[in-house]
Every structure is written in structure tokens, then in C-alpha cells.
Structure 1
Amino acid sequence: MNAHDRHPMTVPSEKRTAISSLWLWLGGALLVLGIFFRVYNLDYKVFWIDEANTVLRSLGYVSQDVTDTLLTGELFQAEDLQAFQQPSPDRGWDDTMTALRSSAEHTPLYFLLSRLWVQTVGSSIATWRMPAVFFSLLLLPAVFWWGWELFGSKLSAGLATVLVALSPLHVLYAQEARPYSLLALMTALSSATLLWTLRSPTWNRWLLYGFTIVVGLYSQLLFTLVAIAHALYILASELTIYKRFTPNLLRYLIVSLGCIVAFSPWLVLLVNNLAEVQRKTASLGDDRYSIGGLIDRWFRVLNQMLIDRELAGWNFLLLLLAIAALVYLWRQAPRHATWMLLLVGGVPFLALALPDLVLGGERSLRVRYLFPTVLALQLTLGYWFAATIPTKRIPQSIVQTILILFIGLQILSNTVNAQRLVWWNKSRPASTYFEPVSALVNTLPNPLILTESKVSDLLALSYWLRPDITLQAIPDVVTLEIPQGYDPIYLHNGTPETEATLQQQGIRLTPIYPVNDSVDPWLWQLEFPL
């Protein structure tokens, strides 16, 4: 597992030139296409509830601010909701830090950088999403560097970079104002820095590695699992080779202690707010699946990781592809590359999957939590494709066909996804109704929307509503006084208790969207007794 034990793949000289020339031009074109997909229709996709929460916290607000100001039972308008989605001179950086500390499960770096960016260039859906695009673009050279440090092969590193550039998963989260593209970037950057440091260990390199760990920790709490994978890699590497405590281990321990000290303010905050964090993340453990059910859903997660095209029962082909690449990695790759990819990919997955198996839940089904696993798998595939194309181990036509099909499916997925207003990463049940409901309401001269929806839902919906649309929250349906002069009057996201109370008052509720007995409506129209 020594970082010095690279053995670049042997390629005949006459083939090497042809391969390099082909992949230089083709790889460059595919990288440009991947960049295009990241910026195309950037402001078209639904700005959904998680992104609205990003804006809310970045600007120094919390949900309670909206509740106390607007959701009191008094009338308000959609533009009043949008006031909480725009920068205000009354909200400074101290307000942003206060808002971020109230949600300790989300470390603050992405939100602070987003506020800095928006204050510089202006606030719009596109500008709020630009930091995620930027981090996803930086991910490409970081993956290439990581691949080079792993395999010592430009072809392997370049192919892995192309697979990441065209990955529908990376493209989807590059266009979402959330910190997951930053998590991916710091995973690749810190891992490459670690290998670079071990290859020629100096204090300057160790300090730079420590800096990437601190930045990663402040980017996403899930990065802790990457840091654990690195620790296991270093311990196993040094102790297996030298069988004693080495200067590298000492430097690593000193740097790690410094990282813990640097991250300790947020650790203390996290511990002090542990009960609240557990409450906010409790939904991850709500659902319980059988082992067979989890395995079936992991097939879908693997599909989302690689091509994001539904293959139904043929998803097992992706598993066979992943297994083939992992077997080749284990048998042919340098030991340091094999163990780093297995640890960086395996530790995060197992840390989420084992609680799902034992306690129930869907932690490992949230593919956005698995970006380290995704990157490790994509690097493994890049190595396998690159290692087998110029050799006779497997007929070239078979491997080239697999690679072309794989890249073709990625391009197809990105092309289709780019035209979709809502896709699975936006929580379709919670976001699909924005467009049809707003299209109906916005055409009416004087509607009223009674709502029991959460703050984040209302903020996301406000991007679609006409600014003068009137709304009224329902703090208590028993004491609710519905004002006169509005027609029609709708109920938005009402609870069963509210529906029953209104019906007891003789008010008829007609489902408007969706009109489907198997789905709870998001919008009802109220018809009052004569």
C-alpha cells in the first residue's frame, strides 16, 4: 500500500500515441459537454424546499422568523415570503452565523460562501446555484489529480475525469444550491493531497493536507467518514510496511490533533444541540425495509450513481460492471490505490448501510450522502476501462463497446434531465405541484390560499406565485376566520384534522390538484354552504 509502488500500465509504443491522441480530443470534447450540462438551464429547474432553506439560513433567517412575522393567521402576500429570500441590510453576517448555529447538522462553510457570492453578484435562482456549479467544475481537475496519484496513468485519470464530468448525479447536484458538490470536491482534493504528501512527506505538505481536512469538515459533516477512511488508510499503510511507529504517523497524529482543535467549535455546538439534531434527522430512521428490500433499493442507488437511466430488471448489469472493475482493481492496481479506493468508498457506505440493516431507515438510500462512494467507484471504472482497452486481456471491441454504451447512457440521461422541471433529486412529491398549482392560481384575479404548509414549502412555492397572491396561515382551524371578498378560496396542504373541521362546518372540499384518489391532494377548493 505504499504510495511509491506505482506501476503504470504497459502499452505498446505504437498504440500509446494513437490512444493518447484519440483520448486527448475525445476526452476534451466530453469534458466540454460535461461543463455545458452543468450550466445549461441553470435557472429552469424547480427551486425546491432544501434550496429555499439554503437561502433562508445564508441570509441570516430561521423558520421561526417567517412563522412569527407571517404565519400568525393574518393575511399576507407571496412577495412577503420572497422578502426572506432576498438580501437585507438589516441582516448581517452575525445573523447568518446565528441562523447556521441553529442547524448544527449543517456545517457552515457552503452557506457563508453562498452569501458572500450573492452579495457580490446579486440574488437570483441562477446566482444561488453558481457556487455549486463552481465546486463541481473544480472537482474535475481534483479527480484527475487523485487518479494520477492513485495510478500514475494519465489515461486512467483522464477517463475517470470524463466519467465524473458526464455523471448525471454530479450534474444534478451541480445545479442545486446545496453543499454536496463541495463534499465531492473536498473528498477528491483531500485524498489526492494525502497521496501526494505520503509520496514526499514534508511538513508543508502535511499542513496542506490538514487544511483540506478542516475545509472538508466545515463543508459537510459526512466528510467525517472520509477523514476516518484516511486514518485507516494511513495506519494500515505505515504499520503494514514498517511495522513500527513512523515519523509519518507522528506527523499525521499532530496534524489530526490540529484539525480536531480547528473543528472543535462546531463539535461543541453539535454536542450541545444533539437532541435538536437528532430530532431534525429522525426521519432518516423512520422507514424499515427487509434485507431484500434494501438490496433492491441499493440497485436503484447504484443506477443513480452511474447512469441515472431506469433499467428495471437489467440493473444487475451495472452491478456486474462494478464487480468486474473492483476485481480488476484488486488484482492489478497498486496496493495503495486499491486500499484507498476501497476505504474511501466503503467506509461511508457501510457507516450508513449498517444502521439501516440493524435499526431500519434509509440513510444509505440517500445517494447525495454517498458522494465519496460514487467517486471511488468512478475512479475504479476509469482504471478498469483504461487498463483493458489497450491490452488483449479482454477483446478490445467488448470493452470499447461497454465504454461507449456507458458514456452514451450518461449523455442521454443528462440530455433528458436537462429538460425536466422536476427530477428525483428535488423530491418529486413535494415539488411537482408548484407549476400546475401556480399556473391555476396566477390566472385568477382575487384568490385566497389558506395554508398549513411548512415554512420551507411556502418559501419554495413563493418563487412560482404572482407577487400579489394573498395567503393566510391556519395556526388554529377552530378559531379560523376566513375573510370575505376573495374568490375562489383554496386550502393548501391541509391536515386531515383541518379538512374534517371545515367539513363539519358545512364547507365542501373539492380536490383541485392532484385529482387522484390514491394521492393526498395538495390543493382543495372551498365551497361554502348557501
Structure 2
Amino acid sequence: MMLLTNFKNPFYKLILLILIIGIFLRFINLDKKIYWHDEIYTSLHITGYLSNEWKSKLFNGQIIGINDLQYYLHINPQKTLNDTLNVLAIDDPHHPPLYYILVRYWRHLFGDSIIVIRSFSTVMSLFVFPAIYWFCWELFQNSIIGLITIALVAISPFYILYAQEAREYALWTVIILISNSWLLKAIKVTQNHHNIEPKIIRCWLIYSGLNAISLYISFVSVFIIIPQTIYTIILENFRLTKITILQGISILISVILFIPWIVVFICNYEQYQRSTSWTKLKIPSWEILKIFALNITRIFFAIDQEFETLLNYLSVIICLILVGYAIFFLIKNTSIMCWGLILCLIITPIVLLVLPDLIIGGIRSLSPRYLIPCFIAIDISIAYLLGSKLIDKNTKNIKIWSIIIAIIISGGMISSAVNSQNDTAWTKVISYSLPEVARIINKTQSPLLISDGNGYNSGNIMSLSYLLNPDVKLQLLSNTKDYQLPPGFKHIFLLSPSDEFRLQLEKQKGLKANFVFQDIHLNLWEIEH
């Protein structure tokens, strides 16, 4: 509304233009990027197929086609909502059901294509704009800062990529923004009344409901509830006050509402450990810090897998300096009511994710989706810095700050525009190179792709089904013992085979496995026969 009523002002015109471009970039080429491993499991959860169910039908050594793979990714009228809940409980108990329930109904309403399933996240991502404006207003009561934050988020390659992904994180972003805004509102309402009136109770009950919804979208919502609690305790000087008591009761209500899925999680805890075993992988500490710094930079500029370039290093260093100064500037120029929550949102995920990875090992912090609360707080800090410099008439070097804003906005815009034309992105992680794998296989005549259940093969094979030519055949194996190559294929490929399976094949007379392609997550071999 403010953009419309102030449309004659060049600043508001610019913000509106950036917002329109950001919305356009969210919807363009929704089906261009690879439908990657994790999105495949979104479809499998929605359709209601248990892992054992579809793997037993596909990984049985028979020669199958692309359509055989995709059968399990499409709606089956015989599968109900109960099947979806059952799959989540048994196969992925660490993924609460709300997002999957909503997308299931979305899919029934609008169709079964990649565009449709991704469009739910895209539409949800549009609610980020009013939500983040409201959050900034509750913090600063300044429309300029809110509008600059909208501009930063609108053209951010990070938020655009997650807005185009069939996962729960766009929806989660909206809810955590509303939750933070409502917390600030509840605190202010409580501070303005001596007695606990119905209005106060209503505010805190809504806050409870928002946190419960957030938990039913993602377990990572603890990274919102914990910093909110720490913030309130600090704000009240570590005293037991109306606000700390009401927030404590509110969080308790949220947890009680979430108990049904907590029970599911506890009952299937072993499956959770198996599903998240990848987080225990140990890599050098400097590598963790490097990727964490890189992910912060990706809020503003799209830096893909390659990091070993001078330009990328400079971008990361400059961004970290700017972020550090923005946080310092925020603390120096606002009250704890403002900077306290922002700082808690930044520090808590770092303490709970990055530090454990550095101390005991693991790669939890390398998944930037878990750091969304931290990144939102960083965006708001940057927006406060830039907005303050623009509206302060005494600010020296205002032209320099205007140039900095122009660089950030144009850099994000160009990055996102380039990203929109690519068939993969750094967020696709373990499936990043599958388009290249598909190109290699599609160039050959009469190809057969063989794979076992090693590593991420199950999801990646499903993902490849959207990229391979219809004439490509597949043979998926659950047991590779005494395996013999089938006749009638000119080119035979192996996708990320176990070393045992590959060496077993090479022992057969006249066979040799030639390396074709690899990245850190997958490899492709061709059998010379």
C-alpha cells in the first residue's frame, strides 16, 4: 500500500521495480533446474510410497525404462493422506507433516507437474515480503528500512533458489518472520498494560500457535524458539517477569501441541539417525569456516560450487566486512529491544550448528537452509545500515553508500538472472552434476545405466529420469553378488557404484570400468566390454 500511495517518489518507484523483478525471477523457468534428490523425496512422501515399497519394485535387477521410475513420483488415487503421514513417520520422522499435507492438496488441485509442486513454494515465498516488512516495522518503526529489506530479499539469489524448490523452507521462512513479529507485538502489548488482560492472553496464544505451526513445518524451528527465549530473558534482565512467564507458558503450549509428532519421532529415532548419518561426516575445520563464509556471501551474490578464484575470495571478504560493520552499527545505534533479537537470531544457529561441527566434527552447518533465521537477521542488519546512511542528512560520503547499495542490488539481480537460465544450482548439492551426467549418457547409442543402492543413488537415479532420453534403459540392483552384464547394449554406464561392485565387474573376463566423470558427491563409469 505504501508503495502505491508514494509512487511519485523515485525511491518507492525503485523499490517497486525491484520487487516486480524479484517476483518475476521467482516464477520464470520453474521447471528448468534439475528436480534434485531431496525434491524427489518430497514427491515420494506426497504420493505415499514407503521406501521399501518402491525400492523393492525398482531395485530388482530388471531392465526398466524412464516411465517405470516416474510411476512412483505421480499421484496414485489409491494412496491417501494417511499413506503420506505413514511414509513421513517411518521413512523421515525428522520431517514434520504440515508442508507435505499442504502440497499434497495443492497437487490435487492444480496438477502433477514439477512446475505445480514447486509453485507452492514460489507462491508462499511472496508472503515473505509483507512478513519481513512487518518484522522490520516492529523492530524500528521505520518504513525505509523495511522497504530496503524487501529489496534485498526480492533479488537475493539465495531466497529465489529456495522459492523455486519443492521443499518446506519458503513456507518456514514466512512463519518464522510472522512468529518474530508477533513476539515483539506481544512484548509491547504486555509492557503497555499493568494487568494481564484478555488482549495480552490473546497475543501470547497466537504466538504459541505460530510456534506450533513452525514446528510442524520443520524441526529446525528450535533455532527460532531458542533465540526468542534468550532475547526475552535478556530483555527482562534475567528476572522472572510477566513477559518471561507468559513466553514460557506460550512455548510450553507450543511443545504440547507438537507432542503427537514428538512421539512419532521418538518411536522412529533409529530411522532418523540413519537418514541424517550424512551430518556426521568429518571435514577440516577450515573447510567448514570457508563454506560458512561462502554461504553468507550467497545471500547477496550467487557464487556457485567453485570457490578457488580471486574474485570469489574478494567477494566473501568484502561481504563479511560489510556484515560485521552492519551488526556493529545496529548495536551501537539501537536499543536492546531492536538489536537483541537480531543478534540472538544470528548467534544461536552458529552456536548450535557451526561450533559443534568445529569441535566434535560433522557438516550440519554446511546446509544453508538451517541458517535461514541467521540470514534473515543479517539482511535486516544490512538494511538498517543502508537505510540509516541514506536518511541521515549528516552522513558523510552518501554517494559512496549509494554506490554500495547499487552494487548489492545489481549484483543480486544479475546473479539471479543468470541463475534463472541454468539447469542446476549450488543448492542442489548431491545432484548438482546430474545434468552433465545426463548429457554424457544421452549422447550415446543404445545406453544402459546400472546402479546399486550405494550412497545417494536411489534419489539421484529418480532425479535423472527427468533428464535422460526416453530410449535410455536402467538396471537397478539391490544385490550385486554374481552379477552378469545383460547383452544387447552398446554403451553401459555405472552411476556411483560401490568400490566392491566395480572391482567385481572388472574381474570378469573382457570387462574394464573406465572413469568418465565425477564430483565430490557422484561418479560415472563406462564399462568397456
TM-score over 0.5 for the alignment? yes
Determine the structure 2 residue equivalent to 1:422: 424
Determine the structure 2 residue equivalent to 1:155: 144
- 1:176 is displaced (CA, Å) by 0.8
Determine the structure 1 residue equivalent to 2:468: 465
Counterparts of 1:57-96 in structure 2, within 5 Å, are: 57-96=45-84
**Contact preservation (8 Å) 1:304, 1:367:** no
- 1:433 is displaced (CA, Å) by 3.2
For residues 431 and 33 of structure 2, what CA distance do their matches in structure 1 show?
14
- Supply the AA of the counterpart residue of 1:236: I
CA change 1:491–1:218 in 2 (3 A) is same
Determine the structure 1 residue equivalent to 2:300: 306
Determine the structure 2 residue equivalent to 1:11: none
- 1:185 is displaced (CA, Å) by 1.4
1:34 equivalent to 2:22? Answer yes
**Contact preservation (8 Å) 1:491, 1:526:** no
- Supply the AA of the counterpart residue of 1:80: D
- Supply the AA of the counterpart residue of 1:77: G
**Contact preservation (8 Å) 2:70, 2:465:** yes
CA change 1:218–1:289 in 2 (3 A) is same
Per the normalisation by structure 2, the TM-score is 0.90
1:46 equivalent to 2:39? Answer no
Determine the structure 2 residue equivalent to 1:270: 265
Determine the structure 2 residue equivalent to 1:10: none
Determine the structure 2 residue equivalent to 1:294: 288
**Contact preservation (8 Å) 1:493, 1:522:** yes
**Contact preservation (8 Å) 2:118, 2:166:** yes
Determine the structure 1 residue equivalent to 2:246: 251
- 1:431 is displaced (CA, Å) by 3.6
Decide which of 217, 222, 225 is 1:224's aligned counterpart: 222
Determine the structure 2 residue equivalent to 1:139: 128
Instruction: Please state whether the residue corresponding to 1:210 is helix, strand or coil.
Output: helix
Decide which of 70, 87, 97 is 1:99's aligned counterpart: 87
Can you list the C-alpha shifts for 1:214-272, whole angstroms capped at 9, x where unaligned? 111111111111011111122222346xx4x3333333232222111100111122222
Q: CA RMSD in A?
A: 2.3
- 1:525 is displaced (CA, Å) by 3.4
CA change 1:222–1:451 in 2 (3 A) is same
- Supply the AA of the counterpart residue of 1:406: I
For residues 416 and 365 of structure 2, what CA distance do their matches in structure 1 show?
24
**Contact preservation (8 Å) 2:437, 2:524:** no
- 1:398 is displaced (CA, Å) by 1.3
Can you list the C-alpha shifts for 1:370-390, whole angstroms capped at 9, x where unaligned? 000000000111111111112
Judge which range, 367-376 or 482-491, deviates more: 482-491
- 1:79 is displaced (CA, Å) by 0.7
For residues 506 and 321 of structure 2, what CA distance do their matches in structure 1 show?
56
For residues 260 and 520 of structure 2, what CA distance do their matches in structure 1 show?
48
For residues 396 and 299 of structure 1, what CA distance do their matches in structure 2 show?
28
**Contact preservation (8 Å) 1:183, 1:371:** no
1:188 equivalent to 2:189? Answer no
- 1:443 is displaced (CA, Å) by 6.4
Decide which of 16, 26, 44 is 1:56's aligned counterpart: 44
Determine the structure 1 residue equivalent to 2:459: 456
For residues 288 and 481 of structure 1, what CA distance do their matches in structure 2 show?
37
1:476 equivalent to 2:471? Answer no
For residues 277 and 421 of structure 2, what CA distance do their matches in structure 1 show?
34
CA change 1:496–1:332 in 2 (3 A) is same
Instruction: Please state whether the residue corresponding to 2:494 is helix, strand or coil.
Output: strand
CA change 1:362–1:385 in 2 (3 A) is same
For residues 324 and 123 of structure 1, what CA distance do their matches in structure 2 show?
47
Judge which range, 310-319 or 110-119, deviates more: 310-319
For residues 390 and 335 of structure 1, what CA distance do their matches in structure 2 show?
22
Determine the structure 2 residue equivalent to 1:203: 201
Determine the structure 2 residue equivalent to 1:363: 364
Instruction: Please state whether the residue corresponding to 1:46 is helix, strand or coil.
Output: coil
Can you list the C-alpha shifts for 1:472-517, whole angstroms capped at 9, x where unaligned? 2233333324433343433333222222222211142353742x79
**Which consecutive unaligned segments of at least 5 residues does structure 1 have?**
1-16
For residues 164 and 202 of structure 2, what CA distance do their matches in structure 1 show?
35
CA change 1:18–1:331 in 2 (3 A) is farther
Decide which of 10, 13, 31 is 1:22's aligned counterpart: 10
- 1:147 is displaced (CA, Å) by 0.4
For residues 178 and 253 of structure 1, what CA distance do their matches in structure 2 show?
30
- Supply the AA of the counterpart residue of 1:207: L
**Contact preservation (8 Å) 2:89, 2:268:** no
**Contact preservation (8 Å) 2:514, 2:528:** no
Counterparts of 1:118-137 in structure 2, within 5 Å, are: 118-137=107-126
- 1:519 is displaced (CA, Å) by 9.9
Instruction: Please state whether the residue corresponding to 2:75 is helix, strand or coil.
Output: coil
For residues 249 and 214 of structure 2, what CA distance do their matches in structure 1 show?
18
For residues 343 and 483 of structure 1, what CA distance do their matches in structure 2 show?
59
How many pairs does the alignment contain? 504
Identity %: 27
**Contact preservation (8 Å) 1:66, 1:455:** no
**Contact preservation (8 Å) 2:186, 2:204:** yes
For residues 129 and 433 of structure 1, what CA distance do their matches in structure 2 show?
19
- Supply the AA of the counterpart residue of 1:35: I
Instruction: Please state whether the residue corresponding to 2:329 is helix, strand or coil.
Output: helix
Can you list the C-alpha shifts for 1:347-366, whole angstroms capped at 9, x where unaligned? 12221011012101222222
CA change 1:500–1:406 in 2 (3 A) is same
**Which consecutive unaligned segments of at least 5 residues does structure 2 have?**
191-199
For residues 192 and 389 of structure 1, what CA distance do their matches in structure 2 show?
25
Decide which of 213, 238, 244 is 1:215's aligned counterpart: 213
For residues 159 and 338 of structure 1, what CA distance do their matches in structure 2 show?
17
- Supply the AA of the counterpart residue of 2:333: Q
For residues 229 and 61 of structure 1, what CA distance do their matches in structure 2 show?
37
Counterparts of 1:343-362 in structure 2, within 5 Å, are: 343-362=344-363
Determine the structure 1 residue equivalent to 2:343: 342
- Supply the AA of the counterpart residue of 2:354: A
